[in-house]
Structure 1
Amino acid sequence: MKTLAGKVIAITGAAQGLGRATALAMGREGACLALTDIDAAGLGATMDALQTAGVEAVSVAGDVTQTATHDQLLASALGRFGSLHGLCNVAGVLGAGQLSDITEQSFDHVMHVNCFAQLLAIQRMAAALKASGSGAIVNVASVGAMVALPMMTAYCVSKAAVIGLTRAVAAELAPHVRCNVVCPGGMDTPMAKGLLSGLSDAESAELVGKLTGRQLQKRFADPAEVAQALVFLVGDTSSFSTGSVFSADGGHTAW
């Protein structure tokens, strides 16, 4: 039996990486989907893949830091499917660089995309999730919310804020809507490849070594592996989990 049959799930950041992997995984489990991303071309490619797989979906290209994007996404979901059962806040940016490189503008951008956008999506969709009778929110943070990552100070701060957001939302929306957070380790995504693209081979190898060196599994994850954590937390099989921090980090935080 498909674990998300009859569910309508909204997913941000669905154009690539973990967002696309999550959409495909949830589609395979029977969910109907409402997707958004600022990358219209990438979002279209995800929609094409879902259509090929026979998954029903709607999409809205837009900036997740803007209220209008979430309002349009919710309206599209309700207009097409009549309800909303889940929200997966996947959209994010890296914001990597030296401590001395951080400016007010760059810090504000990372915080807005990685944390404020999640708050905004939850605000706009909370009533619909409650009305569904089994609402679930899954936020995506990072292993960087719990341990230091090299050259990612602003990113780590923003992802730590997501854990605080998740717990506060879980408390406020209980018992009607559950809210949990997934903290992935390093993943083989276009965003990660973009981080490494500007480095020399030696610098790239050094950074990858730092990112994976403490992991029990000495590799980057395939996004499809991490997507399974979101499938579990948005579905009814995790019905007693809320306010929880779920690590999918290859053992980075195990020791």
Structure 2
Amino acid sequence: MNRLQNKAVVVTGAASGLGRATALAMAREGAHLAIVDVDDAGLGETKALILAEGARVVALTGDVTRLQTHTRLCDMAVSAFGAVHGLCNVAGVLGPGTLAEVTEAQFDHVMHVNCLAQLLSIRAFAARLRESAGAIVNVASVGAQVGLPLMSVYCASKAAVLGMSRAVAVELAPQVRCNVVCPGGIDTPMAQGLLASVPADERDALLARLTGRQLLPRFATPGEVAQVLVFLVSDESAFLTGAVVSADGGHTAW
């Protein structure tokens, strides 16, 4: 497949989970990759996997809540590839569980990683994306559209991504497209961490609450959701902007 042949695509949160799967899916479609994550070891593993696919890649270990991280990655991508055609904001965190556990500092951290980081990334790459008539894909969550147990702050941060992304689509049109993917549960280290955070005898019940409303009652694989991001970066979605794509197994269908 070569839907992204010689296009340069940025992926945040690429050290594991959906971010890694997205970077690899882009590489298999012929893209060059610029990847970033705070997890240096995981990022190195992702870089090696991308190189094994025969793709070109630059990697930066950094904090996505800092503008300078994104401006540096932009400089690296342009230096290596000459342009930037796609930006996938995948980095995210879950945050605290029950309302009784939430502190102001935790709220700020979740909002910064899940929403502010995306805004800063877009700010850093906007000029280059205008030059290339590129595409932005922001990852939100089914939690932006429905309430999820133990995730009040997470849901708030992902709902903010929806509003921000629509505004970005309006502001950057017609040169740049901006769309959102709202996944349901994905079988990632972050999801497994959530399940592990509750007592063992409560995990099956929590999993049932998370997937029970889905028409396809299971977690997605990271690769399944990554293919949605590939589509939204590719020219196949050239007339799609300001849209929200629900990759949630039918959770929001009823």
Question: Which segments of 5 or more consecutive residues in structure 2 lack a partner in the other structure?
Answer: none
Q: Residues 96 and 195 of structure 1 are in contact (CA less than 8 Å); yes or no, is this contact kept in structure 2?
A: no
Q: Residues 142 and 185 of structure 1 are in contact (CA less than 8 Å); yes or no, is this contact kept in structure 2?
A: yes
CA-CA distance at 1:96 after TM superposition: 3.5
Report the equivalent of 1:46. Answer: 46
Report the equivalent of 1:179. Answer: 178
CA-CA distance at 1:199 after TM superposition: 2.2
Q: Residues 96 and 106 of structure 2 are in contact (CA less than 8 Å); yes or no, is this contact kept in structure 1?
A: no
Report the equivalent of 2:74. Answer: 74
How many pairs does the alignment contain?
A: 254
**CA distances 1:14-44 after superposition (whole Å, capped 9, x unpaired):** 0000000000100000000000000000000
- SS of 2:180's partner is strand
Report the equivalent of 1:151. Answer: 150
Report the equivalent of 1:200. Answer: 199
Q: Residues 90 and 140 of structure 1 are in contact (CA less than 8 Å); yes or no, is this contact kept in structure 2?
A: yes
Report the equivalent of 1:85. Answer: 85
Distance 2:23 2:140 in 1: 18
Report the equivalent of 2:31. Answer: 31
**CA distances 1:228-249 after superposition (whole Å, capped 9, x unpaired):** 0000001111000000000000
Report the equivalent of 1:100. Answer: 100
Q: 1:18 is matched by which residue type in structure 2?
A: L
- SS of 2:9's partner is strand
Distance 2:252 2:18 in 1: 20
Q: 2:220 is matched by which residue type in structure 1?
A: A
Q: How does 1:56-71 map to 2 (within 5 A)?
A: 56-71=56-71
Q: 2:22 is matched by which residue type in structure 1?
A: T
Report the equivalent of 1:55. Answer: 55
Q: Residues 97 and 150 of structure 2 are in contact (CA less than 8 Å); yes or no, is this contact kept in structure 1?
A: yes
Report the equivalent of 1:209. Answer: 208
CA-CA distance at 1:67 after TM superposition: 1.1
Distance 1:100 1:199 in 2: 15
Q: How does 1:100-179 map to 2 (within 5 A)?
A: 100-132=100-132, 134-179=133-178
- SS of 1:253's partner is helix
Provide the TM-score with structure 2 as the length reference: 0.99
Q: Residues 137 and 178 of structure 1 are in contact (CA less than 8 Å); yes or no, is this contact kept in structure 2?
A: yes
- SS of 2:137's partner is strand
- SS of 2:253's partner is coil
CA-CA distance at 1:203 after TM superposition: 1.1
Distance 1:136 1:51 in 2: 24
Distance 2:97 2:11 in 1: 28
- SS of 1:115's partner is helix
Q: Residues 32 and 55 of structure 2 are in contact (CA less than 8 Å); yes or no, is this contact kept in structure 1?
A: yes
CA-CA distance at 1:198 after TM superposition: 2.7
Report the equivalent of 2:233. Answer: 234
Q: 1:114 is matched by which residue type in structure 2?
A: N
Report the equivalent of 2:245. Answer: 246
Distance 1:11 1:50 in 2: 12
- Runs (4+) of structure 1 moved beyond 6 Å? none
Q: Residues 70 and 121 of structure 2 are in contact (CA less than 8 Å); yes or no, is this contact kept in structure 1?
A: yes
Q: Residues 22 and 226 of structure 2 are in contact (CA less than 8 Å); yes or no, is this contact kept in structure 1?
A: yes
Q: Residues 94 and 110 of structure 2 are in contact (CA less than 8 Å); yes or no, is this contact kept in structure 1?
A: yes
Provide the TM-score with structure 1 as the length reference: 0.98
CA-CA distance at 1:208 after TM superposition: 0.4
CA-CA distance at 1:201 after TM superposition: 2.3
Report the equivalent of 1:221. Answer: 220
Distance 2:152 2:227 in 1: 28
Q: 2:216 is matched by which residue type in structure 1?
A: Q
Comparing 136-145 with 96-105, greater Cα deviation is found at: 96-105
Give identity over the alignment, percent.
63
Distance 1:172 1:200 in 2: 46
